[in-house]
Structure 1
Amino acid sequence: MLPDGTRAETLKDIHEYAVEFFTDILGKIRGQFFPDLPEFLSSMPLPICTPMHILALSEPVTADIIKASLDRMPSSKTHGPDGFTAEFLKASWSVLGTELTNNVISFFNYPFMPAALNSTSLVLIQKRDEELQRIKEKFDLSPGILPIRYLGLPLCTRKLSIGDCDPLLAQIRKNLNSWSHRHLSLAGRYTLLTSVISGIVGFWTPTFMLPKKVIKWVNTLSNAFFWHGTSESARGAKVKWTDITFPKQEGGLGNGDDTFFWWDPWTPFGPLIHYLGQDGPSLLGIPLFSTVRELTSNEGWSLPHPRSEKQISLHAFVTTIQLSHLSDKPIWLIGDKVQKSFSSRKAWSEIRECREIVSLYSQGVAQGEDP
C-alpha cells in the first residue's frame, strides 16, 4: 500500500517504494560539504585527546581495516535500518565488498553531514531550574525521585529492598492494630487474615518478588495477631503443637485422607516442613500439599530412600505406623497422657516450672486451716 492509498501492482512500483522507504529512514545524502565541521566539533565540550590518540585517529582507513572490523562483528548482530546483518555482509563480501569499502572510506574522507544528523546524534538539552519551576506551576506537578509510589506500589528500576517494603509492613501493622481493640474469636481473626491481609500481600506479589525477610515479618505479625489478638505480642502458644494432634487409634493415625504430610504434626518431629526444611519437598520428591494417604499403598509406605539423618529418623518412625480404615481424628496429648478434652489446668501444670512443696502445706494448709 502506497502513501497515497493506492496499491502497488507492478514490480517496478514495489522497487520504487522500497527505495523511497529506506531513503527516508537513512536520510537523503545531498553531498553538501560542511567546511566548518572542525570548528563546530572543537566548540563542543568533548574530552581532549592525547597526541597519541590524535595520531591514531588521523591514520587513513583502509580496506583491510574495514574487512577486519567486519570479521570481528558477531554474525547475529542486530541489523541496521537497511535490514542487512553482519552475517549477510560476510557471506556476500565477494559481491558487496567493494561497494561497502568505498562507502566507508568516503565517509571518513569527505566532511559532509547527512540530513539525518539529528536522528543519529545525542542532543544535550540543558535543564534550567526556572524552566522546571515554570512547568511545576503551570501543570500543578510535584517533582519526585525514584522510587516513587504509584497506586500504592513503589516504582523502582531494581529489585525491591527491605526498605522499599516499609509501606507494606506499615499497612499490615495499621490493620492489625485497628483490630486489636475488638473482641474477636480465633475464627474471626483467621477470616481477617485470610481475606484482608492476604489481599494486601497479593496486591504486591504479582508485581514484585518480596524479600524473604519481609515475608517472614508478615508471617510473624499474622501469627502474633492470630494467637494473641495483637501484632506486638512475642509470646508463643501455651501448648506445644507438635504434641497435641497425635492420633493413635488402632495403632495408627486414621486413614490419612485428612492429614497433610508436610503441614500437620502427625509425627513426634512436628510439622515435617519445619523438621526437614523448606527443601524437603524437592529433596524427597513429595508434593507440598500431599496427604499421608497418598504416600501409602497396599504394600506399605511409598517413601524415597533416606539421604540424611533426619530422613532416616522419619523412616524409622513411619515404619512403625499402620493406617486404619477410620477417619483422622486429632486428640490432645498433654505430657504422656491422652486427654478426652482440652484442660487449661492440666496444660498449665505441664508447662509451668515446678517447685518443692513448702513445709506449711503438710501442717494444715492442705486441710483448709490457717497456718
Structure 2
Amino acid sequence: MYQLVTKLKRLKPVLAAINKSGFADIQGEEMRVKELMTECQRRLSLDPLNETLMQQEKGVREQYAEKHKALISFLQQKSKAIWIKNGDSNTSVFHSSIKDRSRQNRILSIVNAQGERVDEQEKITQAFLDYYKELLGTSMIGRKRVKNSVMKEGPLITPTQAATLMADFSNEEIKEAMFSIPGVKSPGPDGYGSYFFQDNWDLVGGETCEAIASFLKSEFGYHERSAEMKLNHLSFADDVLLFCRGDFKSVYLLMQGLKLFTNTSGLTPNKGKSAVFFSGMEENEIKRVLDMTGFLRQDAPFKYLGVPICARRIAASDCVTLAQKITKRIQVWATRNLSYAGRLVLVNSVLSTIHMYWSQIMVLPKKVIKEIEGICRSFLWTGKSLMEGAGAVGWEKLCYPKKEGGLGLLNIAQWNIAAMFKHIWAVANKKDNLWVKWVHCVYIKNHNWWEYKAPQGSSWYWRKLVSIKDLVKQSLNHEEFSNEEYKIAKGYRVLVQEHEKVDWCNEVWARINTPKHSFLTWLAIQQRLKTRDRLRCEFSQHCLVQVKKWLQWRTQADTLQAVLKTVRKAKQTKFRKNVKASSIAALVYLIWKARNELIWQKKVPKVEDLVQRLQQVVKNRTMLVLPQKVKIKDRDCSFLAFQMDQATIEPSSTIPTRPLCSRDSNQREKSDPTAAVAVHTAARFQQLCAN
C-alpha cells in the first residue's frame, strides 16, 4: 500500500503540468479552433480548387474534433451525468448539471443536536461529527456481546458458506470492481479517478490489486462484539417489520427484544421514524401500547422501502408519489433547451426507469401506467409534464423497436408483467425466501404449481399472480422456464408483439448521424411533420440538387423512402453509405430549421447558405465519430466530408415565389415552430439521400 501511494503522489506534479499545458483553458481553446475552422471553410468555399486550403481546412477540422471531444469529456466528468451518453452535445445540459451538483454539495446551515441553527463552516462540521458519533453509539459503555443461544434460534450459514464469504478477494474480483466504477465518478482521497486505473491497468494493475487486498485484510473484520459468532456488519438490522399478537404483553416482550438489540449493537430505534399498526384491538389497549413504546400510530397503507404496503388491492391513489417523482424530474429539465433527440434519451434512460423498482414488486394499476405514459409522451413532444391532445405519433408506435419503425421506448404495462414473471419463477423453483415459503405453506401446499387454481376467497393480488402464471404457461414452455435462470428482458421480448421490420432503420439511426437529425428524419418518414408540402416545395428541391452535386450522387429518387432505399442498395462500403445517410438526415433537419426561421423570425433562407452549413455539419460530425478502421479509398474520397467537392454551389434566389413549404394564406401557422418546419425538410431530404 505504501509503495503505491508514494508513486501516485510522485505522479501528481507530472499530471498537473500536463493539465496546465494542454487543458488549462479547454473551453477557450475549443472556441478558438472552431473560429479558425469556420474561417478556413469560408475561404475554401470561395476557392474550392485550392489544394493548400484543403489541407489547411482538414488539419484545423481534426484539431477542432479533438478539442471538442476533450471539452465534452471534461464537462461530463465535472457534471457526473452518467446518463448523458447519447443525444446532442448540448453543453447547456452539462452546465445545468454542474450547477445542480454545486448547489446540492453545499450546506449553508444546519440545526445541531441542541436545536440551534448554525451557519459557520466549523460549527456545521462539528454538528455532523457530534450527530454521527451519537448515532453510531460511541458514547455507550459496557455493551453486551451477541448471545450464542439467540443466534442459534435463527438460520445459520454453513461452514462452507462462511469460508466463501471470508475468503480473500482475487485479483480478478478487484479488477472487475474497479472497472465497474464509471470513470466520471468523483475521485478517491488520493485524487485519482477510476479512469486513471482503468486506462493504465497494465502498468498499475498489479500494485493496485496488492494494495487493495492488503487493505481489506488489515482494515476489515468482524465487529468486536460479534467476533465469537462470526457476524459482520451485513448482519445488522436496518428497516425491519416486526409482527406480534395484538395484546399488550406481546408488544412488551417485543420491546424487550429491541432493548436487548440496542444494548448489544449500540443501535437505537428512531422513535420519530418508527410506527405501530394496530388491527382488531381496543382503544384503551392501543393507548397503553403507544405510551409504552413511544412510537407513532399509523394506518395502512404505509410505505416500506419506498413502496406502499396494504392488505387490499393497491389503488392509483397509493401510487401518487410515483408520478410526482417523474414530474419533478421534468420540472428540472423544462427550462433547458432540449431537442427531440435529447428528450428521447431522457425518457428512455431516466423517466422510463423510475417505475421499475415498483414494477418488480407489484402489479401497477392501469390508471397509474396510463398516467406515467402520458407524462412521458407529453415531455417527449412538448418538454412539459402536461399537454393537450395527442402526440405526433401514437405511444404504442413509439414503443416499437427501432428496427420495426418505432423509437424503442419501454412498454410499461408489458414490462410490469414481465417483472411479475420473476415471482412465478421463484414459486416454481421454491426459492429460499420467506414469501415463497409462506405461499407454498398457505396457498399451494401439495398442489402442482402449474395446475394450481386460486381459491375464490384468496386476495386479489394472489389471484392476479395466478392469472399471470397461466399467461406464462401459455406463452412459454413452463418446464424450460423453471429450469433456466429467468431474466426480465427475456420475458419482455416474449410479451411484446412483433411487427413488420422497416428497411430504412440502419440509414435513419446510423451512428454517424447527429441524433436530432435522425429523429426529425424518422418523424418525416412517419408523415407527421406538421406542414403542408411534406418537403416537396421548390426550395427543398433546389437544396436537394445541390447536395447531390456535392456528393457526386446520381439518382432519380424523389421521396425520402426512395432516397434511403438508394443508399441501402448502393454497392459501396458501409462508411460511404453512412456518410450519405448522414447528409440526408442533416438536409431534412436544416430545411426544417430554415422554414422555422422564415416563419417565426422572418429570416429568408438561401440555398447556398443552407448547403454550406450542411457540408460543415456533416464534416464535423463525421470527424467526431470517425471509425478507427476506415479504408484508405474512403478516407481520401473527396466527398466524404474530408475535403470539399470541386463542384461549386450555384447561387440561387433566396426563396421561390411560393414561400418555403408554406401553408394556404388563409391558414394561420400553429405556434409550434419545430412541427412547422419539420415536414418540409423531410421530402427534400429524401431526394438528397436517394443517391
Do Structure 1 and Structure 2 share a fold, with TM-score over 0.5? no
Which has a greater percent of helix? 2
Query: Which interval holds the TM-score relative to the shorter structure?
Result: 0.3 to 0.5
Structure of higher CA gyration radius: 1
Structure with higher RCO (Cα < 8 A, 6+ apart): 2
TM-score, normalised to structure 1's length? 0.36
